[in-house]
Amino acid sequence: MTILSFVFWALVGWCGTRLPKPRPTPAPGPLKSLICGIVGGIGGGLAYYCVFGLKDAITAPVFAATCLGAFVGGFVVTEIVLLFTPKEG
């Protein structure tokens, strides 16, 4: 596992981020959602990598599989944060 793995998982987690819809009342900032997506992506990719015992070698198919974990991790963490963010109005 290299630093490039973490960077790529962060980018994939960012892709799984759902930004808040524009509303007339103030919504949580999109930066908060993006940071949550990046953190969730790194966590999801790392979790997928460790849970499925992929510690031998990181080949292209294995790395592609970890990206699925990063995407799901980014999406789930962002949704949880947006769910518990107080809504005004």
Residue 78 lies in a domain: yes
| Residue 55 pLDDT exceeds 80 | no
30, 70 Cβ separation under 8 angstroms: no
Q: Is the pLDDT of residue 24 over 60?
A: no
Q: Are 13 and 70 in contact (CB under 8 A)?
A: yes
pTM attached to this predicted model = 0.71
Domain range for 8 is 3-19+28-84
Domain count, the chain: 1
- Segments in 1-89 forming alpha helices (H): 3-15, 30-51, 60-84
* Whole-angstrom distance, CA of residue 14 vs CA of residue 36: 8
> Is pLDDT of 25 > 70?
no
**Residue 79 included in any domain:** yes
Residue 69 domain-assigned (yes or no): yes
- For residue 26, the model assigns a pLDDT of 54
Q: Please state the rounded mean pLDDT for residues 42-69.
A: 80
In a domain, 89, yes or no: no
